[in-house]
Amino acid sequence: MTKKEDIYRIISKRIQEERKKADLTQEELSEKVDITSKFLSRIECNADNPSLELIIKFADEFGISFIDLLTEKKEKESNNEKFLKRVQFLTAKFTDKQKEQIINIIKSIKNILS
């Protein structure tokens, strides 16, 4: 396998991992990045390669860096890291004011549970 094939294999795997982590179906993700679910399936199976522009769309949608999609995961993430990434994904497109409101809600919940 060439370096290019290795990179696309990693990208395919990472897209699938991030999609599942975000609890999205192929149909849901394909709508968000404006491709067909069949094309997404081919990408995840490493039968087709996404363009650079599409890789960036995936990264933006997952709320991660472009480099994260090019990098194979070596370590198992802790539950805390998974939680934080999920929150980051869910709030990626929030304004700073909305993020501050979320923090205040979490603080209120913490006070209630303490």
Q: Which residue has the higher pLDDT, 30 or 84?
A: 30
- Residue 46 pLDDT more than 90? yes
**Cβ distance 18 to 58 under 8 Å?**
yes
Mean pLDDT of 3-16: 91
Contacts of 82 (CB under 8 A, 6+ apart): 21
pLDDT reported for residue 33: 96
**pLDDT digits 0-9 by tens, 64-111:** 988 888 887 765 667 787 788 888 888 888 999 999 999 999 999 988
* Residue 54 backbone class (left: φ over 0; alpha: ψ -120 to 50; beta: rest): alpha
